Amino acid sequence: MKKHLLLIGGGHAHMVTLANLDKFIDKGFAVTVIQPSEYHYYSGMGPGMLGGTYSADDIRFATRKLVESKGGAFILGKAYRIDPSKQCVYLEDSAEEIHYDVLSCNAGSFVPQSELVQGEVRNVFTAKPIEALLAAKDTILTLCKNKDITIGIVGSGPSSLEIAGNIHQLCRQQAENMPVIRVFAGQNFMSGRPTKIRRLARTILENKGIKIVDSGYVEKITEGSLVLENGGTFQADIIFPAVGVKPSLIFARSGLPIGPDGGLQVNDYLQSIRYSNIFGGGDCIYFESHPLDKVGVYAVRQNPVLYANLMACLEEKPLEQFSPGGTYLLIYNLGDGDGIFSKWSFTFSGKFAFKIKDYIDRKFIRAFQ
Ligand SMILES: Cc1cc2nc3c(=O)[nH]c(=O)nc-3n(C[C@H](O)[C@H](O)[C@H](O)COP(=O)(O)OP(=O)(O)OC[C@H]3O[C@@H](n4cnc5c(N)ncnc54)[C@H](O)[C@@H]3O)c2cc1C
């Protein structure tokens, strides 16, 4: 029987592995990819898709088509649990066992909203999966047709910033009525970021007429409203929880060693600390020697090492070490062509900042599309 490489998710850390999938096939290995969508969406351009700068096709990779064209198999589904002793993966709602010899996990992260959202609440859209932003865009434009609405974005970080700015762009360009847009930023908008970034982010949003509420954290989201922990209540027709992300729950559910955030605990080879034939990359791992920010930059940097180590593990050769590298470039897309650029201590805002991001993102996506 051929040795089987199984990939959970075709995310940012699996791009090089997917691009070289035919090399595994040529060497006599079988490869299967499990993913809940036939496409993988590039999150860096997700807010721009919400704002109407990009179409869905501009920002997605046709995972199924790529995998099948290179001789692999594609399973449309959600990996639910891993049984490392049997070396198999179970899908959600299925007892079928998908066997592997080597497993690589790039299942990303999700926005935990269960603590905030009370019961069945309509028109709540999380920042992840990125596909959800497509449905959000349609809902915004539909509701803005008939009445003056309010949109609430809950969160004080970059996702919240980018979503707010791009909703403004979308509505300015396409909506019949301009909504009220409020960002519920707890007590400190863009906390943990350098002072200059925080000042620029606030000024740019406020100049667009976006209101930043930083008088307290949101305690619960109910149908049509947000309640703050200080008792303040705000009406909102559409709500975006953008309260940070947590790694996929697959690993905790499977009893694999995980880090404090619930991510698959991996060593310097991006390999599970307990199971030598399980690897991972991107937001779903906890890199034990140097815990990493949940940014796409690290997933992208992990690509060559993950690819090399999956091949090496199948061929029983030595593994390569991953080094996270130094500081990374951050550019935020605030909609209406505005961006904030930041690297080392160098920070500036304006149209040129967004142009740089647009150029880098389009180049990245073209390379792998
Ligand atoms: C709005 C927003 C904007 C962002 N902008 C930037 C940016 O500009 N620059 C930056 O560096 N970072 C950015 N980030 C962070 C970045 O999105 C993540 O760090 C990056 O997506 C991590 O890549 P990943 O491949 O690990 O996860 P993901 O991009 O989430 O990909 C995971 C893949 O796994 C699949 N999957 C999920 N669950 C399962 C399952 N159970 N079984 C099988 N497959 C599954 C998904 O369908 C998806 O294809 C942004 C995040 C958000 C939310």
Is 138 in the same domain as 232?
yes
Average pLDDT rounded to a whole number, residues 55-75:
97
Is 159 in the same domain as 219?
yes
The dihedral formed by the CA atoms of 234, 236, 239 and 241, expressed in degrees to the nearest 10: 0
Nearest ligand 1 atom, CA 333: 8
Nearest by Cα to 295 from 254, 325, 251, 260:
325
Closest residue to atom 49 of ligand 1, CA basis: 40
Does residue 165's CB lie within 6 angstroms of at least one atom of ligand 1?
Answer: no
Average pLDDT rounded to a whole number, residues 103-128:
90
Nearest ligand 1 atom, CA 162: 1
What is the whole-number distance in angstroms between the Cα of residue 11 and the centre of ligand 1?
Answer: 6
Residue 162 lies in a domain: yes
Q: Is the pLDDT of residue 37 over 90?
A: yes
Average pLDDT rounded to a whole number, residues 347-354:
98
Does residue 180's CB lie within 6 angstroms of at least one atom of ligand 1?
Answer: no
Percentage of residues of the chain with pLDDT beyond 70: 100
Long-range contacts of 262-269 (CB under 8 A, 24+ apart): 262/286, 264/105, 268/321, 268/322, 269/305, 269/309, 269/319, 269/320, 269/321, 269/322
Average pLDDT rounded to a whole number, residues 264-280:
98
Is 281 in the same domain as 310?
yes
Q: Is the pLDDT of residue 159 over 90?
A: yes
Average pLDDT rounded to a whole number, residues 235-259:
96
**Domain's final residue, options 244, 273, 291:** 244
Residue 320 lies in a domain: no
Best probe residue, ligand 1, of 15, 39, 43, 134 (max atoms within 8 Å of C-beta): 43
Does residue 335's CB lie within 6 angstroms of at least one atom of ligand 1?
Answer: no
Cα–Cα distances in angstroms (integers) from residue 343 to residues 325, 327, 340, in the given order: 14, 8, 10
What is the whole-number distance in angstroms between the Cα of residue 107 and the centre of ligand 1?
Answer: 8
pLDDT (0 to 100) of residue 291: 94
Q: Is the pLDDT of residue 114 over 80?
A: no
Does residue 35's CB lie within 6 angstroms of at least one atom of ligand 1?
Answer: yes
223: helix, strand or coil: coil
Q: Is the pLDDT of residue 167 over 80?
A: yes
**Domain's final residue, options 300, 315, 330:** 315
Residue 85 lies in a domain: yes
Q: pLDDT digit string (tens) for 184-208?
A: 999 999 988 999 999 999 999 999 9
* Counted domains in the chain: 2
Is 252 in the same domain as 236?
no
DSSP lists the bridge partners of residue 60 as 41
Domain that residue 253 falls in:
4-110+245-315
Does residue 46's CB lie within 6 angstroms of at least one atom of ligand 1?
Answer: yes
144: helix, strand or coil: helix
pLDDT (0 to 100) of residue 80: 98
Q: Is the pLDDT of residue 369 over 90?
A: no
Percentage of residues of the chain with pLDDT beyond 90: 92
pLDDT (0 to 100) of residue 1: 86
Does residue 294's CB lie within 6 angstroms of at least one atom of ligand 1?
Answer: yes
**Domain's final residue, options 244, 268, 298:** 244
Q: Are strands 346-350 and 330-333 parallel, antiparallel or unpaired?
A: unpaired
Amino acid in the structure at residue 28: G
Q: Is the pLDDT of residue 82 over 80?
A: yes
pLDDT (0 to 100) of residue 113: 78
Which CATH number does the domain housing residue 267 bear? 3.50.50.60
Q: pLDDT digit string (tens) for 318-346?
A: 999 999 999 999 999 999 999 999 998 89
Does residue 248's CB lie within 6 angstroms of at least one atom of ligand 1?
Answer: yes
pLDDT (0 to 100) of residue 368: 86
Nearest by Cα to 260 from 246, 250, 270:
246
Question: What mean pLDDT value characterizes the chain?
Answer: 96
